Amino acid sequence: MSAPIFGIELSYWQETVLRSVGILAAVLLPAGTFVYLFLFKMVSFMQSRLGPMEAGPFGSMQLLAEVGKFLQKEDIVPERADRKLFKLAPYLVVSTVLLVYLAVPFGPEMTFVTNFDGGIFYVLAVSSISALGVLLAGWSSANKYSLIGGLRAAGQLIAYELPMVLAVIGVVIQAGTLNMQGIVMAQADGSIFGFDGIGNPFLLTQIIAFVIFMIAVQAELGQTPFDMPIAESELVTGYITEYSGLRFLLFFIGEFASAGAFAAVAATLFLGGWAVPSAWADLDSAIFNLLGPIIMLTKMMILGGLIFFVRFTFPRFREDQLQKLAWTVLIPISLANILVTTILKVVF
């Protein structure tokens, strides 16, 4: 843990503080970029309008203006709400995202917990806590729309956690490790039939797992076509109907930060994470502590663009159709994927 970063020797507490600041930056930076780039601008161009143009050049300060607006709003707790749970729920959702980032590597040294065996297992486990926050919000709001939204979110989580885990298992079998750093290195050092020019990004060999993973991510995040927990034309805004001001902002941050978190996980699992193929450069050099996060953010932006492109193109499923899709299509396919991966792993 006391390895020097850029030649500077740091004590343990200094390093921990730095890493915590890094995590916060890692959460807020992609979340903010996602909101501006995709929610404000990409969607505006898709829908033949300009999007925000007034705050800052091309509206780039719009997000700050929005945050300022939300901070000024009155903080309302419904009269019949369960006050403690109502106030707890948004923090639970946001903290989940922070927990996910703990295990995601952004460079050879750039992780909160270095050499975290079972890292991907941990990520999948903590990422489901946010659904608990959603359920709490739905239940404690004392609102029927919120309640239906919360219950839908819970049902959705159970249905889509399984294909997600099964899709990841294919990757884990191929990499031979649960350690996320190990998965990155397996892709960087790998080769396709002896050709190691581009390493072995699991996107190529695990394309089925990638598709299933991205569908499950879409459902976990509650993005269209799986946005029934929010479903603004049916349930007003589902579980966040009663929230205002700072707490609404926290849900909003949580939504986009977790989109960033899942994009980071998917980039690590399928696109080679922070690394470039090891044939191109020496991955152990300290410069990758600087380059790694940039490479990672680029990959996250590509996946984030995919997530939001789908979100603003497709209509919404019905709850029972979503369950049917998960249990009768995605789970059998991902099981078959595991089987095929295992056989090929044994053969080669």
Partner 1 sequence: MTALTERQQLAYANAQAADGRVNLEFETDEGMTLNMGPQHPATHGTLRIVVKLDGEEVISCEPIMGYMHRGYEKLTEVRTYPQVTTLINRIDWLGSFANEVPFILAAEKLMDIEAPPRAQWIRTVLFELSRIANISLFVGDMALHIGAISAAFYAFRDREYVLNQIEAATGGRFHPNFDRIGGLKDDLPKGWIADTKATMEKIRDFCDEMETLVEGNEIFQARTRGIGVIPADVALAYGLSGANLRASGVDWDLRRDEPVGLAWNECDWNVITHPDGDSFARFWVRLQEIRESTKIVDQLLDGLPAGPIMAKVPRIIKVPEGEAWVATENPLGEMGYYVVSKGDLGPFRVKIRTASFNNVAVIPWVTRGVYVPDVVTILASLYFILGDIDR
Q: Name the segment binding partner 1 (CB under 8 A); options: 7-15, 170-178, 205-213, 232-240.
A: 232-240
Can residue 232 be called a binding residue for partner 1 (CB under 8 A)? yes
Q: To 10 degrees, what angle do helices 119-127 and 180-189 make? A: 120
Residue 28, φ and ψ in degrees, nearest 5: -80, -35
What is the CB neighbour count within 10 angstroms for residue 196?
15
Are the C-beta atoms of residues 237 and 230 closer than 8 Å to each other? yes
- x-or-dash string of contact with partner 1, 30-49, rule CB under 8 A: -------------x--xxxx
Q: Which of 320, 346, 347, 348 binds partner 1 (CB under 8 A)?
A: 320
Can residue 329 be called a binding residue for partner 1 (CB under 8 A)? no
Q: Which is nearer to partner 1, 51 or 56 (CB)?
A: 51
Can residue 318 be called a binding residue for partner 1 (CB under 8 A)? yes
Q: Kindly tell me the sign of the dihedral angle through the C-alpha atoms of 263, 264, 265, 268.
A: positive
Burial label for 33, CB within 10 Å (0-12, 13-18, 19+), is middle
- How far is CA 200 from each of CA 192, 197, 277, 327, rounded to the nearest angstrom? 6, 9, 8, 31
Q: Which of 59, 119, 170, 225 binds partner 1 (CB under 8 A)?
A: 225
State how far the Cα of 222 lies from the Cα of 258, in Å rounded to an integer: 11
Q: Which of 85, 102, 142, 236 binds partner 1 (CB under 8 A)?
A: 236
Can residue 144 be called a binding residue for partner 1 (CB under 8 A)? yes
Q: Which of 281, 290, 257 is nearest to 107 (CA)?
A: 290
Can residue 339 be called a binding residue for partner 1 (CB under 8 A)? no
- x-or-dash string of contact with partner 1, 274-313, rule CB under 8 A: --------------------------------------xx
**Which residues of the shown chain bind partner 1 in the complex (CB under 8 A)?**
43, 46-49, 144-145, 148, 224-225, 227-228, 231-236, 312-321
